[in-house]
Amino acid sequence: MENTGFTIAHYEHMDQDVRFTSGTARMRCEEATVNRLKDMLHQAPLKGFLRPHTGENGFAFTLQEAIIVACKPAQE
């Protein structure tokens, strides 16, 4: 954004854990799709980017989210 002339006023970066089972159920994925998605999460590049893990809430992955507030340069 800065390379195109915007000024960054504020930004936040956060990790959001997404539960795999409830997410695929919400999307009404068929079993074959669920299995393929799970396989994909355990392979590069998704494994490194989404960091799949099993915790107390079951199998999940982590989305990286950002909020960016930028100011548009004044027109001359």
Q: What percent of the chain has pLDDT over 90?
A: 84
End-to-end CA distance of the chain: 19
Q: What is the pLDDT of residues 18-49, one digit of tens each?
A: 999 999 999 999 999 999 999 999 999 999 99
Residue 16 has pLDDT above 90, yes or no: yes
Residue 76 has pLDDT above 80, yes or no: no
HSE-CB at 13 with a 13 A cutoff on CA atoms is 2
Kindly report whether the global pTM for this prediction surpasses the value 0.75: no
Q: Which residues pair with 53 in a beta bridge?
A: 60
Distance CA 45, CA 37 (A): 13
